[in-house]
Structure 1
Amino acid sequence: MKNFTRISVLLVALVFSGSAFAQIPYKMSNQTNKIDYTDFMNAKKGTKSSRDAFSLYVDYGTANGDDNGYIWPFNSLFNDADTSFNFIGVSMDQIAGYTDPADPANSIVIYSNVGLPDAYPSTLSLTVDSIFAYVTHENNSAQYDYITMKIVSTGSNGAPSTNVLWQQTDSSDVSLSSNGNWLGTGAGFVLAYAPAYTTNPGSKVAFVIEYVDPSKVDSFGVLGTSVDDGTGGTMQQSSYKNSYMRYPPFIPQITLNSNVGYGNPVGANGWLEAQNWGIWARVSYDWNVGVNDVNNNLSLVSLSPNPAQNFVRANIELAKPSLVNATLTDVTGRMVNNVFNGTMNSGKNFITINTSDLAAGVYFVNISADNGNVVSTRVVVTK
């Protein structure tokens, strides 16, 4: 008999996209589904520690500062009677993620940090070098299960389409999780693909994972992450609205995960904990500006305290008297505060940034001198 651990959930009223009510999993009372933050962040680490010019890892969960993760059961063949996810996809329509695979959490970047004028320029061409997915798998049937990763084009609404640009299918009649179970210690592992697929300039793509278990007695799980509100749930939407789902019979259409909220008004009782799927990609790109790490006139000596509560001080050093500009942006690149714009003398200087009225989260301090390259540093605001 299948060793299947079902998700116990608190059934709550659901409102999504301003329309229907339904019931889907919200807060996981069965902690066997929970994945420790260090486990899924360590899975994203590689052996390489040097930064690659013109390349980065597009990873919306990491860029969003997600620290809460659960494994969600998934089968592309699930129907209304199964009541679980049967579609999972991530659209790549913003450039955000990390640059150092040895330290993802401390090398978070957004488009402006890597030389791009906006979140996804109309002339940008990306090469998808690798795709990764954090999953679990348990086979009890001794029959073949099929796992397919696809690159598809996106529709006019940004959602993944059915137009397949690249795909790879793997099959297994044994459990792929090292512990033989889809939950528990040792269940999680990373699927890796090397499509080397190059997009047309300005064209956006999505990553869609399919799992087909004809027997429906095997189990496949996908990591979904969010920002922990301190009670095991999430009280805020992701800053990156790129993950898509379908959950029959309650959500029969492909829907943004970030639109699934609970209570009335929508989100009053929290949001779906799978705000970002654990699917990310290493991409390289052709652009006329590289990574903005160097400013010959400006050095950012330190940013403290970090994490910050009421303020953070940027200590800088200038090679000559300069016109200095400092801004604070959120993880999507949205301007939060124009902190400073004025002349500073050569030598050591500092800029104090008020963070007392900011919501907890990840921000970037961006400083330039005499219109040189912007030096950006991540600051975490806590409350």
Structure 2
Amino acid sequence: MILKTFRWPLVITVLGLAASAVFWGWEAFGVVLILSILEISLSFDNAVVNAGVLKKLNAFWQKIFLTIGVLIAVFGMRLVFPVLIVAITAKVNPVEAVRLAVDNPSRYESLVTDAHPAIAAFGGMFLLMIFLDFILEDRDIKWLAWIERPLAKLGKVDMLSVCVALIVLVVTSLTFAAHAHTSAGHGVDKSSTVLLSGVAGLITYLVVGGLSSHFENSLEEAEEREEEEEEKARAEGRAVSAVGLAGKAAFFMFLYLEVLDASFSFDGVIGAFAITNHIFWMAVGLGIGAMYIRSLTVYLVRQGTLDDYVYLEHGAHYAIGALAVILLVTIQHEINEVVTGLVGVVLIGASFWSSIRRNRALSAQGGDGDGGDSGSPGAQEKAGAQA
């Protein structure tokens, strides 16, 4: 199962590293390898969150996620996106931006650095909304119940997550954005840019997430009407296959996944400039990492890992919240990518260990320990507290 799922990432890794060594030398080989590891470490939480969405889709859309979705992730976000940033901020055409990347990488890097406040505000607000909507929702299974229980009560207030996000954006624009870090150094006022970009990130989340939820709810209503037909099919001895979301619902869920992946990739793309200015080395290294994250997402879905280790999704969303804060802070202050990656790894590792302890506790209490809804909510919270 592992070799089958990760077959293409392994092939691309070998080809990418070999091509780097042949065309650009051993320095490129080392840089591409480092960038691949950087992307994987920064985006592990992305795989966990994506898996929670991807499991709702049928096999066809899961395959689209691994094919067309990978092309969008690798070529769109890791190659085209940095070029577009330079084209927009420098007010040049994309061809000229590519020429800058190849012939004048230091100038190219400075232009991307100047665009960082806008990128960080957009991505930070999008990720912050994901975290807030998760943490403010009342869930049967709670990881850090002492935090999640009171926040779930507050979450009953309509549009609270939007209000909190807007408050964070205003505070950020008045503090970090007033002394933003650019190629000219600290102290540049980017308040208006951060405000506009942050609002754009918020609107993008609301539109894409809203459409996904709308079509998902519509499909659920249709599925309820189909239940009677399925029962008839079983009575007649015909096989009934379980299918996931399809049609418009699946399309907008796929679109949501792509925007989500784009937001996660911001820190990787920006962080890559701390290692190299070479646009093609960057694209190859980050692209290899993106391939592994995509395959890891599918692996988590097919193995039912999120059902077995129920706190993983919690840990990933806490990591998302931390990443959102880090992105907003980096508008003014530089934060090492190692710190960003370690925060996500530690939070997800802690949630994984808590899930294992919970399953053991439920087994000792006579539950099935499969990570599902076994046992009463009280027993689940008790197991979570023990974890």
Q: Same fold (TM over 0.5)?
A: no
Question: How would you bin the TM-score normalised by the shorter chain?
Answer: under 0.3
What is the TM-score normalised by the length of structure 2? Answer: 0.26
Structure with the larger helix share: 2
